Amino acid sequence: MVFIPGGGHLARVFYGYPGGISEDFVDHWLAEAGFGMLTVSVPVGPRFGQAFETGLTRPDWAEAIATCAEEAIEADGQSRSVVILPWSLGGSIVGHLVDSLCRRNIDIAGFMPLSASSPLPRSPRSYRSEERLDADGLWDVAGSRLFGVERLRTWQAEIRSIEAELGRTVLSPDDYERHILTGTPIGIVPGGLARSFHPTEEPDLSVFPFATPIVPTGEQDYRHAIGDAASWAYVNAQIVLARYVDAFGRHGRPMDGPAWAALTAVMADLQTGTGARIAGGHFFFLGARGARETAGAIADLLPRGLALRARLARLLPEL
């Protein structure tokens, strides 16, 4: 399992921090289910005690993650197969990461975006932000505003609601800022701080792996709760369409009747049965209940996604 954190956060948001309770983080529950996890953070900021590069780009970051994955696979003698778990902004590098992993002959057994938008244009009415830089020239994600509200204020409110559900502290404001929050290089943000609605790099959706998204239900993360399942279903459809064109469409020869019926049945399943929903907002995977349910969804979606891919591979070559 390769977890890619979102903007403004270190990967500790997935595995915990010094003094934290391990059951409040997904890594604990994945380990209980027998899965190992690799988490990768952008090494920026004073906490790393070293010089850092503010100009990191998405291809650079993807290459670094793929290198770490390959080293971990070889060190542990594991099969050359990974599951990609990008959260939030982490989903924006998936196209580049797929390329980097494929060049290393590493198979992508699963791709589960966690509150991560697909690489599709969005309406300017759905997202209005005021972005700022910190003193080091990094994107100050927490200090920037979305529809006039500072992100940190929104994030803290959600963490407090998770703690109210559990009746105890999960991540105090001090621990959150000390151990998990960080700046983000502008180069890994699609469109830069302008937050362009029409990225200059048009992604080739057909190279993406099949997505089995894990979507929040809470209104506090309305953009992902409303949009993610449908937008990733569209990406999945484009993957199948590209394979169909390669196998049949461009040659002008149809599939036989039973095969076509089977393909349309798969597409119906693809629209409705390839993801999971978990109660909560953007941090639905924090806290013992959310972390346990997220790990359970990951374990459940992995074989379902593999089975779907196998069904399609029998119908369309090289899928």
Measure the CA–CA gap between 253 and 251, rounded to whole angstroms. Answer: 6
- How confident is the model at residue 102, as a pLDDT? 94
Residue showing tokens 């289910």: 33
pLDDT of residue 53: 60
Q: How many domains does the chain fold into?
A: 1
Give the pLDDT of residue 286: 97
Task: Give the pLDDT confidence score for residue 51 in this predicted structure.
Answer: 52
Angstrom distances, CA of residue 266 to CA of 71, 105, 275, 317:
36, 27, 14, 15
Angstrom CA distances, 38 to 14, 15, 25, 107, stand at 10, 10, 14, 15
The edge-to-edge listing of strands for the beta sheet with 2-4 is 38-39, 2-4, 81-86, 107-111
pLDDT digits (tens), the chain, 319 positions: 999 999 999 999 999 999 999 999 999 999 999 999 999 988 776 666 555 566 788 899 999 999 999 999 999 887 899 999 999 999 989 999 999 999 999 999 999 999 998 888 777 777 778 889 888 888 899 999 988 899 999 999 999 999 999 999 999 999 999 999 998 988 888 766 665 444 445 567 778 899 999 999 999 999 999 999 999 999 999 999 988 988 887 777 788 899 999 999 988 877 776 899 999 999 999 999 999 999 999 999 999 999 988 989 999 876 5
Separation between Cα atoms, residue 4 and residue 188, nearest integer Å: 12
Q: What is the pLDDT of residue 208?
A: 86
Q: What SS3 class is residue 233?
A: helix
Q: Give the torsion sign (CA, 163, 166, 167, 172).
A: negative
CA distances 175 to 12, 57, 297, 304, Å, are 11, 29, 28, 37
Quick check: 67 and 177 in contact, CB under 8 A?
A: no
Residues forming a β-bridge with 107? 81
**Structure-token match 């200090």, residue found:** 143
To the question of pTM greater than 0.85 for the whole model, the response is yes
Pair 157, 131: CB distance under 8 Å: no
- 161 burial (CB, 10 Å; 0-12 / 13-18 / 19+) is middle
The confidence score (pLDDT) of residue 203 equals 64
126: CATH: 3.40.50.1820
Q: The domain containing residue 260 runs over which residues? A: 2-315
Of 28, 15, 149, 144, give the one whose Cα is nearest residue 87.
15
Q: Count of CB atoms within 10 A of residue 46's CB?
A: 8
The residue count for the chain: 319
d(CA 287, CA 227): 24
Rounded to the nearest 5 percent, the helix, strand and coil shares of the chain are 50, 10, 40
Cα 230 to Cα 238: distance, rounded to the nearest angstrom:
13
Q: Are 12 and 180 in contact (CB under 8 A)?
A: yes
Going by their DSSP bridges, the two strands 107-111 and 129-130 should be labelled as unpaired
Rounded to the nearest 10 degrees, how much is the dihedral formed by the CA atoms of 286, 289, 290, 292?
100
Q: How many CB atoms are closer than 10 A to CB 149? A: 11
Cβ within 8 Å of residue 251, ≥6 positions away: none
The per-residue pLDDT for 198 is 43
Both structure tokens of 166: 């559990």
Do 58 and 86 contact (CB within 8 A), yes or no?
no
